Structure 1
């Protein structure tokens, strides 16, 4: 078996909703002893903050300004990746359907993406400076946030598989009613987010893994195989791009 990369290591994982990127990323981070960053949770936290503060999500300048000052603290322990606003744990709050229904209005704000891009890069740098590395997952991690990552993976899955997974997660069933209720949250959000980032086809140098027919354990093993077989790469400074 190939040996894992020498630390520090950044593993960048992208994918659409329901591809398994969050659960797989946490498992990979635990297995390799790395920290973990859910960039999507940052957009969700900002959406929640704006709603609570009465900031109009249609006012892009106001939302961008909020992204510069909102009191966000991101936990990077893959076993308990807490999200705090003003010291309060909002992990369950950012996963509600109410937040899911509006988060794309924040995530498609290019000004917000630019602000959070730098915060995400800062967290990656801190992880590399203080420990063995980090697994970062989201929408354009492999191409914009960490294009210099030693390991870059795009997880994909069929729409049918993605809907079923998210329905089971939200409703503990994948019956017709649950699938219908989940459809807008998954398909519509991906369509919205795809207007500002690409996460359905792997970019050059990114390994694509289709998880449609894979179990969770098989999906984790597939990413670990990529990580353990990756050749060391010269580190480069990210050249930016709209996040």
Structure 2
């Protein structure tokens, strides 16, 4: 009996974290993964990498055939480094470039395309197959890892999410809080209403609302949920 408990305690699970833009998925997942020794896979950065590559190559993202044809020429790579996860496209580190408002305003349109999702979902499943991983995105629990041992839906109001995103951008980009909130609301609408893998809170996800939680409190909430799931505890 004791032996079984020990093996359960060491069980490394797959964690799916979904939620709308600006809910804090990436920053929270990164910290949780580091504390638990898990691998963090930022799926949003993967879609941003593809978006940057298409825009940089002058491909019209409205032209789905052109986008699909261009995908075979885009070599996307995530590297785990001391400073965190870096994103490389065709041998170039684009980790900073993919965070600009220009890429942000186009990423939902690119991510809605079937060819893009098919390519990246396959990559994500392959990366997650080792266990001990945290993936965050829009369709992790519903499409990418429907059998994940723990699914979390991380969310907050549009106002809260817009304010957080604005704080990240205001020093590097001349942009108003209203404009950022509008972008967040537009992304919500696109992500929830798209045909391919829309943003959805699956029935077996634990909903964590972060409006009134600090980063530390949210991190601890997730760690507690993961530890419970590692032991085979039921959640929800």
Common topology (TM > 0.5): yes
Match of 2:19 among 9, 12, 15: 15
What does 1:68-217 correspond to in 2, within 5 Å? 68-76=72-80, 79-125=83-129, 127-128=130-131, 133-171=132-170, 178-196=176-194, 197-199=197-199, 202-217=201-216
Aligned partner of 1:218 in structure 2 is: 217
Q: Is residue 141–residue 147 contact of structure 1 (8 Å, CA) maintained in 2? A: yes
Query: TM-score scaled by structure 1?
Result: 0.84
Q: Is residue 191–residue 199 contact of structure 2 (8 Å, CA) maintained in 1? A: no
Task: Compare 224-233 and 29-38 and name the one that shifted more.
Answer: 224-233
RMSD: 2.3
Shift of 1:73: 0.7
In structure 1, distance between residues paired with 2:36 and 2:73: 33
Task: Look up the SS of the partner of 2:95 in the other structure.
Answer: coil
Q: Is residue 37–residue 76 contact of structure 1 (8 Å, CA) maintained in 2? A: no
Query: Per-residue CA shift, 1:75-112, capped at 9, x if unaligned?
Result: 24584100011221100000011111111120111221
In structure 1, distance between residues paired with 2:117 and 2:58: 20
Give 5+ residue unaligned stretches, structure 1: 234-243
Query: TM-score scaled by structure 2?
Result: 0.87
Q: 1:158 to 1:78 in 2, by over 3 A?
A: farther
Q: 1:76 to 1:146 in 2, by over 3 A?
A: farther
Shift of 1:7: 3.1
Task: Look up the SS of the partner of 1:228 in the other structure.
Answer: helix
Q: Is residue 35–residue 78 contact of structure 1 (8 Å, CA) maintained in 2? A: no
Give 5+ residue unaligned stretches, structure 2: none
| Alignment pair present for 1:49 and 2:48 | no
Task: Look up the SS of the partner of 2:23 in the other structure.
Answer: coil
Q: Is residue 104–residue 189 contact of structure 1 (8 Å, CA) maintained in 2? A: yes
Q: Is residue 26–residue 78 contact of structure 1 (8 Å, CA) maintained in 2? A: no
In structure 1, distance between residues paired with 2:198 and 2:58: 31
Task: Look up the SS of the partner of 1:44 in the other structure.
Answer: helix
Q: 1:199 to 1:104 in 2, by over 3 A?
A: closer
Task: Compare 63-72 and 221-230 and name the one that shifted more.
Answer: 63-72
Match of 2:36 among 32, 38, 54: 32
**Aligned residues, how many?**
223
Q: Is residue 55–residue 62 contact of structure 1 (8 Å, CA) maintained in 2? A: yes
In structure 2, distance between residues paired with 1:40 and 1:168: 19
Task: Look up the SS of the partner of 1:75 in the other structure.
Answer: strand
